[in-house]
């Protein structure tokens, strides 16, 4: 049968990985897809590198100009692997306008412009597949969109940034500071020279916004996401959390709450006994709670050449299988039929309810704890556990650590401001959210 022709845009780590895996597993992939899948065009800024990699493979054309690939008459699927917003957005829209199906690994593009892209694809009757955009090789989009389709999804909690997870794991294992471990992560190639997107929770928020839309049948709304990264976490707090039976992870959480959807990325204490708390290093894991199935956990490599290629090629196979089908009978881009998306509101952070770890440095004298607990009680914040550290030799200050029951974030913010204003409390209160995930 005639091969399906792919135009690859971008020949970096993932592009090269896609080439390698497609070649290596060519016949097995063709047996699954029902016809061969062939890379016919490669658009790249470094054609020399691509030329060396394709090593004279017959019929592969190389170009500097990615728009040539997006518009090529003999290309059926455009595979966008360059990342970033522009020119990726223009290329994807151009490919759609030329009747091409699109496979993309670009979470930033989808988080910001997914609604526009899906609308264009729907109008043109083409598919846009994006398994590789979330959690690399872990087939979480497939699971959410198809495997769990019977369920009312209640919440998703994911470790979806490998760089941050690597840094937190190393900080905990070695007792080193964030800055020291970040340097190590950069030296080992886990963290970019500019790690802002990874360590400030933005990359995770992109991925979470995509999962949230699929889980709850709402348009993509990255602008509603709250993102707080790991840069301010100290080794002391990681250690205190361990002593209390918790591990701190950068978690992306989206939940269907009574008044709307929560969409938030932040460092989170998780009970150490949960499987997801034990996901270490650069690995990803996503925990999904459905009303029928209960909790399901998806784990694997969230980045890297061949794990990401695994997801890209899964999409190529899906598109190949569905390519001749009636567009109305394909799996909808966001799992729900496009005219069935709802306008459930996203909750501002102040309305979110969760538990909290609060650490404060206080003068070690009578009445201090009573003042603090009164402030909490006045705001309906109930204490679940408390430890007071022994003051160091000759010191008259100590650390108090409180874990709260579920409380409203706005009340907790207010309580923290009051506590920090007490004359007996020194410096800022450290606040880290806590999720039981049961
Ligand atoms: N930079 C991401 C991470 C991988 O550290 O997980 C690509 O999404």
- Given ligand 1 and candidates 185, 193, 302, 305, which is best to mutate, with the most ligand atoms within 8 Å of its CB? 302
CATH 3.10.129.10 is held by the domain 140-301: no
Clarify whether 207 is annotated catalytic: yes
pTM: 0.97
Q: Residue 188: what pLDDT? A: 85
- Given ligand 1 and candidates 10, 190, 193, 198, which is best to mutate, with the most ligand atoms within 8 Å of its CB? 198
Both structure tokens of 61: 């054309």
Does the beta carbon of 267 lie inside 6 Å of ligand 1?
A: no
Residue 378 predicted with pLDDT over 90:
yes
Residue 391 predicted with pLDDT over 90:
no
Q: What percent of the chain clears pLDDT 90, i.e. is strictly above it? A: 91
pLDDT level of residue 393 (50, 70, 90 thresholds): confident
Using the atom order of ligand 1, give the atom closest to the CA of residue 161: 6
- Given ligand 1 and candidates 203, 230, 310, which is best to mutate, with the most ligand atoms within 8 Å of its CB? 203
Nearest CA to ligand 1 atom 8: 303
Nearest CA to ligand 1 atom 4: 303
- Structural contact between residues 398 and 390, judged by C-beta atoms closer than 8 angstroms: yes
Give Cβ neighbours of residue 194 (< 8 Å, ≥ 6 apart).
none
Residue 189 predicted with pLDDT over 90:
no
Residue 56 predicted with pLDDT over 90:
no
Q: Residue 392: what pLDDT? A: 82
Architecture of the 4-137+305-340 domain: 3-Layer(aba) Sandwich (3.40)
Task: Report how far ligand 1's centroid is from the alpha carbon of 352 (Å).
Answer: 26
Nearest CA to ligand 1 atom 7: 303
Give Cβ neighbours of residue 208 (< 8 Å, ≥ 6 apart).
156, 158, 160, 225, 252, 253, 254, 263, 264, 265
How far is the C-alpha of 307 from the C-alpha of 376, rounded, in Å?
A: 47
Using the atom order of ligand 1, give the atom closest to the CA of residue 303: 4
Per-residue DSSP letter, 144: I
Task: Report how far ligand 1's centroid is from the alpha carbon of 251 (Å).
Answer: 14
Nearest CA to ligand 1 atom 2: 161
How many C-beta atoms surround the C-beta of residue 67 within 10 A? 16
pLDDT level of residue 196 (50, 70, 90 thresholds): very high
Per-residue DSSP letter, 218: -
Q: Residue 151: what pLDDT? A: 98
Residue 115 predicted with pLDDT over 90:
yes
Domains 4-137+305-340 and 140-301 share a fold: no
The length of the chain, given as a count of residues: 438
Task: Report how far ligand 1's centroid is from the alpha carbon of 161 (Å).
Answer: 5
In angstroms, the Cα distances linking 154 to 25, 212, 339, 389 are 37, 10, 22, 38
Both structure tokens of 292: 């029928």
What strand order describes the sheet that includes 61-63?
61-63, 37-43, 4-9, 77-80, 101-104, 128-129
Give the residue ranges of DSSP H helices in 232-339. 235-243, 305-322
Q: Residue 190: what pLDDT? A: 79
How many C-beta atoms surround the C-beta of residue 197 within 10 A? 19
Q: What are phi and psi of 407, to 5 degrees?
A: -145, 165
More confident residue, 389 or 102: 102
Q: Residue 395: what pLDDT? A: 85
Q: What integer best gives the mean pLDDT of the chain?
A: 96
- Given ligand 1 and candidates 110, 141, 161, which is best to mutate, with the most ligand atoms within 8 Å of its CB? 161
Tell me the helix, strand and coil percentages in the chain, rounded to 5: 40, 25, 35
Does the beta carbon of 212 lie inside 6 Å of ligand 1?
A: no
Judged by average pLDDT, the poorest of 164-178, 262-276, 322-336 is: 322-336
Q: Span 352-434: which CATH code?
A: 3.30.70.260
Residue 373 predicted with pLDDT over 90:
yes
Q: Residue 216: what pLDDT? A: 98
Does the beta carbon of 163 lie inside 6 Å of ligand 1?
A: yes
pLDDT level of residue 251 (50, 70, 90 thresholds): very high
How far is the C-alpha of 338 from the C-alpha of 333, rounded, in Å?
A: 8
375-399 as b/e: b if 16+ CB within 10 A: bbeeeebeeeeeeebeeeeeeebbb
Give Cβ neighbours of residue 412 (< 8 Å, ≥ 6 apart).
356, 379, 381, 404, 431
Using the atom order of ligand 1, give the atom closest to the CA of residue 190: 5
- Structural contact between residues 41 and 8, judged by C-beta atoms closer than 8 angstroms: yes
Residue 191 predicted with pLDDT over 90:
no
Q: What are phi and psi of 298, to 5 degrees?
A: -120, 130
Task: Report how far ligand 1's centroid is from the alpha carbon of 130 (Å).
Answer: 15
**How confident is the model over 253-309, as pLDDT tens digits?**
999 999 999 999 999 999 999 999 999 999 999 999 999 999 999 999 999 999 999
**How confident is the model over 129-147, as pLDDT tens digits?**
999 999 999 999 999 999 9
Q: What percent of the chain clears pLDDT 70, i.e. is strictly above it? A: 100
Task: Report how far ligand 1's centroid is from the alpha carbon of 282 (Å).
Answer: 9
Using the atom order of ligand 1, give the atom closest to the CA of residue 192: 1
Q: Residue 15: what pLDDT? A: 97
Q: Residue 49: what pLDDT? A: 87
Which is catalytic among the residues 107, 207, 224, 289? Answer: 207
Average pLDDT over residues 84-113: 98
- Structural contact between residues 339 and 254, judged by C-beta atoms closer than 8 angstroms: no
Both structure tokens of 191: 């963290």
Nearest-Å Rg of the Cα atoms of the chain is 24
Task: Report how far ligand 1's centroid is from the alpha carbon of 369 (Å).
Answer: 42
Give the CB-side neighbour count of residue 371, counting CA atoms within 13 A. 18
Using the atom order of ligand 1, give the atom closest to the CA of residue 164: 5
Task: Report how far ligand 1's centroid is from the alpha carbon of 137 (Å).
Answer: 11
Does the beta carbon of 162 lie inside 6 Å of ligand 1?
A: yes
Does the beta carbon of 302 lie inside 6 Å of ligand 1?
A: yes
Average pLDDT over residues 4-24: 97
Give Cβ neighbours of residue 153 (< 8 Å, ≥ 6 apart).
144, 215, 216, 256, 288, 289, 290, 291
Domain ranges (residues) in the chain: 4-137+305-340, 140-301, 352-434
Does the beta carbon of 303 lie inside 6 Å of ligand 1?
A: yes
Does the beta carbon of 200 lie inside 6 Å of ligand 1?
A: no
């Amino acid at each position: 049968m005639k091969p399906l022709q792919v135009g690859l845009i971008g020949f970096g780590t993932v592009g090269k990985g896609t080439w390698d895996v497609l070649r290596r597993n060519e016949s097995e992939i063709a047996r699954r897809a029902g016809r061969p899948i062939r890379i016919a065009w490669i658009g790249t800024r470094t054609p020399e590198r691509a030329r060396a990699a394709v090593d004279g493979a017959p019929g592969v054309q190389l170009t500097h100009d990615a728009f040539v690939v997006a518009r090529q008459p003999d290309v059926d699927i455009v595979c966008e692997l360059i990342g970033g917003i522009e020119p990726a957005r223009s290329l994807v829209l151009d490919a759609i306008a030329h009747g091409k199906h699109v496979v993309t690994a670009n979470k930033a593009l989808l988080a910001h412009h997914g609604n526009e892209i899906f609308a264009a694809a729907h109008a043109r009757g083409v598919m846009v597949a994006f398994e590789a955009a979330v959690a690399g090789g872990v087939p979480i989009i497939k699971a959410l969109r198809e495997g769990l389709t019977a369920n009312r999804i209640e919440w998703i909690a994911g470790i979806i940034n490998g760089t941050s997870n690597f840094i937190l794991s190393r900080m905990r294992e070695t007792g080193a500071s964030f800055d020291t471990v970040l340097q190590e992560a950069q030296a080992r190639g886990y963290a970019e020279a500019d790690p802002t997107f990874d360590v400030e929770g933005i990359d995770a928020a992109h991925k979470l916004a995509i999962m949230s839309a699929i889980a709850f049948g709402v348009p993509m709304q990255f602008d509603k996401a709250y993102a707080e990264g790991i840069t301010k976490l100290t080794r002391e707090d990681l250690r205190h959390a361990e002593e209390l039976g918790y591990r701190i992870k950068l978690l992306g959480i989206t939940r269907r709450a009574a008044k709307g959807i929560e969409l938030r990325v932040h460092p989170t204490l998780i009970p150490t006994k949960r499987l997801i708390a034990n996901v270490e290093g650069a690995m990803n894991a996503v925990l999904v709670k459905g009303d029928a199935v209960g909790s399901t956990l998806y784990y694997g490599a969230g980045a890297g050449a061949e794990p990401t290629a695994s997801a890209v090629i899964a999409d190529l196979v899906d598109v190949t299988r569905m390519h001749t089908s009636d567009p109305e009978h394909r799996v909808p881009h966001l799992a729900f039929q496009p005219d069935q998306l709802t306008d459930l509101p996203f909750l501002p952070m102040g309305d979110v309810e969760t538990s909290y770890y609060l650490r404060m440095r206080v003068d070690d004298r009578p009445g201090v704890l009573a003042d603090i607990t009164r402030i909490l009680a006045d705001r309906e914040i109930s204490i679940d556990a408390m430890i007071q550290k022994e003051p160091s030799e000759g010191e008259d200050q100590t650390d108090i650590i409180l874990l709260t029951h579920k409380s409203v974030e706005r009340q907790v913010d207010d309580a923290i401001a009051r506590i920090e204003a007490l004359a007996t409390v020194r410096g800022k209160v450290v606040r880290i959210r806590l999720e039981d995930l049961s």
